[in-house]
Amino acid sequence: MPGNGLILAIESSCDETAAAVVQRGSRTLSSAVASQIATHARYGGVVPELASREHLRAVVPVVRAALAQANIALADLDAIAVTSGPGLAGALLVGITYAKALAYAQNIPLIAVNHLEGHIHAVLLNERESLQRQSSLEKGTGAPGLASETWDGSTSGDQPALALVVSGGHTHLYLARPAHGSWTYSLIGRTVDDAAGEAYDKVAKLLGLGYPGGPWIDNLALHGNPHAVPFAFSQIKTKLHLGGKPPRTKAARTAPIANLDPHFLFSFSGIKTAVLRYVELHNLRPEAEVRRETLFTGPDAPPSPTVDDALATCDLQTLDLIASFQHAVVGDLMKKTFAAQESLGVLRILVTGGVSANRELRSRFTAEAARRNLHVAFPTLALSTDNAAMIAAAAWPRLQAGQFAPSGLSADPSLALGK
Ligand code: KG4
Ligand code: ZN
């Protein structure tokens, strides 16, 4: 069994360069994230070449910051973990190359982690940390010390769970089952086109709001009527997608849809088009252009526009549109997640990924789970979006099981999770 169970993880799959040190998959010693939002914001989305360049700049300082925050040296580590996919090839390669070099220099194992599994472990890490805190308090021992740590990372909460990973690149439903200290995953449903976060980002761009769009829509939706525009999701016709046609977007590439129940499939490209039609029909485009110019791209745009700045540029019709869009997206995520939960008979739901930071999503999932007498959990806001603590947490069972990456590990932009 490895020494102190200290894992340094590196995450660089998209537009955040992150490093973290986590002990035994259950105690975060540090989590550093360098965001590239400022670089990509003016393009309204992630530019892959710029992402790779920014990762190259940030990876060494971010790893140093994570070690310094954790107050440990490279020599204290038991393993290095790194995201190997899915994500942007060039971005992933920066993290992988640096992680390999560190592992080789320290002569410690390298562990490859699937980014989606990482998102699921963000919730598990939070749950373990709070259980651990609780048990320390009950024993009256306060915070457990590094060397005296006896926690093995398992909790009584390690029961099968339905996990909804909902982010800018994914909207996937998995059945996650504990298996001998590790986890196995079965794909239950997923988007056949855009991810939910992608729809948030595209709708925000269309309305002249900032990047990423999720937080803007989350905040502005509070001021509109969610029932003003009746957006509807039609039942997905799987035959169309099973006809051998190649998937249309990056989100659809990570897993096959054959054999999945169409009731658990998502599609978010339609609502994006419906918003576009509404904007055109109600002539909201000129207002969106003025908003973009005033808040983000114009010479007099404030350095960091606030929600109040944005609110001042939105008429009621736009706010109603934003609130209705969000209400419909969250409603569809709920409908399919709870349908899958019912069909599988699991009593525990985990919702994770960037979109899980959304307030309406959290409150509606929480209320529905309570109504059904189910347990629902979300990561803390810091662990909802991309970070490396979740990668280190997912790597812990692998370290225990001796599942290490081959020396020829490379990036896999379409890496799938589970069967
Ligand atoms: O997990 P993440 O950081 O990166 C990916 O793996 O994609 O998720 C980023 C996505 C973006 O699409 C962003 O707009 C969305 O998460 N997001 C939100 C919120 N915060 C971030 N969507 C809705 N509400 C939010 N509060
Ligand atoms: Zn992510």
| Per-residue pLDDT, 134 | 84
Q: What is the pLDDT of residues 80-104, one digit of tens each?
A: 999 999 999 999 999 999 999 999 9
pLDDT at 165 over 80: yes
Pair (200, 98) in one structural domain: no
pTM: 0.92
Q: How far is the CA of 13 from the centre of ligand 2 (A)?
A: 8
Interatomic CA distance for residues 277 and 273, integer angstroms:
6
Q: How far is the CA of 84 from the centre of ligand 2 (A)?
A: 12
DSSP for 84-117 reads: EESS-HHHHHHHHHHHHHHHHHHT--EEEEEHHH
CB distance 86 to ligand 1 below 6 Å: no
Q: How far is the CA of 211 from the centre of ligand 2 (A)?
A: 16
6-10, 43-47, 276-280: which has the minimum mean pLDDT?
A: 43-47
Q: What is the pLDDT of residues 263-283, one digit of tens each?
A: 999 999 999 999 999 999 999
| Per-residue pLDDT, 150 | 33
Pair (124, 213) in one structural domain: no
Instruction: Classify residue 218: in a domain, yes or no.
Output: yes
Pair (25, 146) in one structural domain: yes
Q: How far is CA 286 from CA 283, 314, 318, in A?
A: 7, 12, 12
List 362's β-bridge partners, or say none: none
Residue of higher predicted confidence among 287 and 257: 287
Instruction: Classify residue 88: in a domain, yes or no.
Output: yes
Pair (341, 277) in one structural domain: yes
Instruction: Classify residue 351: in a domain, yes or no.
Output: no
Instruction: Classify residue 168: in a domain, yes or no.
Output: no
* Eight-state DSSP code of residue 266: B
Pair (92, 207) in one structural domain: no
**Among the listed residues 111, 106, 110, 158, the one whose alpha carbon sits nearest the alpha carbon of residue 131:** 158
Q: How far is the CA of 105 from the centre of ligand 2 (A)?
A: 29
Supply the residue whose CA is at minimum distance from atom 13 of ligand 1: 214
Pair (17, 105) in one structural domain: yes
Instruction: Classify residue 316: in a domain, yes or no.
Output: yes
| Per-residue pLDDT, 257 | 77
CB distance 379 to ligand 1 below 6 Å: no
**What residue type is assigned to position 383 of the chain?**
L
- Supply the angle between the helices 196-206 and 269-281 in degrees, to the nearest 10: 20
**What residue type is assigned to position 219 of the chain?**
N
Tokens at residue 62, please? 């971010």
Which atom of ligand 1 is closest in space to residue 359's alpha carbon?
26
| Per-residue pLDDT, 243 | 47
DSSP for 164-216 reads: EEESSS-EEEEEEEEETTEEEEEEEEEBSS--HHHHHHHHHHHTT--SSHHHH
Pair (207, 300) in one structural domain: yes
pLDDT at 122 over 70: yes
Interatomic CA distance for residues 139 and 135, integer angstroms:
6
Pocket test for ligand 1, best of 355, 362, 364, 378 (most atoms within 8 A of CB): 355
Q: What is the pLDDT of residues 318-367, one digit of tens each?
A: 999 999 999 999 999 999 999 999 999 999 999 999 999 999 999 999 99
Q: What is the pLDDT of residues 357-408, one digit of tens each?
A: 999 999 999 999 999 999 999 999 999 999 999 999 999 999 999 999 999 9
Q: Which of 325, 346, 367 is the last residue in one of the domains? A: 346
Which atom of ligand 1 is closest in space to residue 353's alpha carbon?
1
Q: What is the pLDDT of residues 101-114, one digit of tens each?
A: 999 999 999 999 99
Q: How far is the CA of 353 from the centre of ligand 2 (A)?
A: 6
Per-position b or e across 328-348, b if 16+ CB within 10 A of its CB: bbbbbbbebbbebbeebebeb
Pair (228, 292) in one structural domain: yes
CB distance 360 to ligand 1 below 6 Å: no
| Per-residue pLDDT, 223 | 98
Stretch 35-56: mean pLDDT: 88
* Percent of residues, the chain, with pLDDT higher than 90: 80
For residues 112 and 99, the answer to whether their CB atoms sit within 8 Å is no
At 362, is the secondary structure helix, strand, or coil?
helix
pLDDT at 242 over 80: no
Instruction: Classify residue 394: in a domain, yes or no.
Output: yes
| Per-residue pLDDT, 156 | 41
For residues 322 and 344, the answer to whether their CB atoms sit within 8 Å is no
The residue range of the domain holding 124 is 6-156+382-401
| Per-residue pLDDT, 140 | 75
27-35 and 79-85 strand pairing: unpaired
Pair (198, 282) in one structural domain: yes
Instruction: Classify residue 374: in a domain, yes or no.
Output: no
| Per-residue pLDDT, 256 | 62
Interatomic CA distance for residues 325 and 196, integer angstroms:
11
Pair (389, 341) in one structural domain: no
CATH of residue 334's domain is 3.30.420
For residues 107 and 37, the answer to whether their CB atoms sit within 8 Å is no
Pair (198, 269) in one structural domain: yes
CB distance 87 to ligand 1 below 6 Å: no
Pair (325, 194) in one structural domain: yes
| Per-residue pLDDT, 419 | 73
| Per-residue pLDDT, 149 | 33
* Percent of residues, the chain, with pLDDT higher than 70: 90
Q: How far is CA 128 from CA 152, 180, 347, 362, in A?
A: 10, 17, 18, 20
CATH of residue 103's domain is 3.30.420.40
CB distance 201 to ligand 1 below 6 Å: yes
Contacts of 348 (CB under 8 A, 6+ apart): 157, 159, 160, 161, 162, 374, 375, 376, 377
pLDDT at 194 over 60: yes
Task: For tokens 């088009």, name the residue.
Answer: 273
Instruction: Classify residue 169: in a domain, yes or no.
Output: no
What values do phi and psi take at 285, rounded to 5?
-65, -45
* Residue 141: band (very low, low, confident or very high) from pLDDT cuts 50, 70, 90: low
| Per-residue pLDDT, 148 | 30
* Residue 255: band (very low, low, confident or very high) from pLDDT cuts 50, 70, 90: low
| Per-residue pLDDT, 248 | 53
Ligand in nearest proximity to the CA of 390: 2
Give the count of domains, the chain.
Answer: 2
Residues with CB under 5 A from ligand 2 (ion): 167, 386
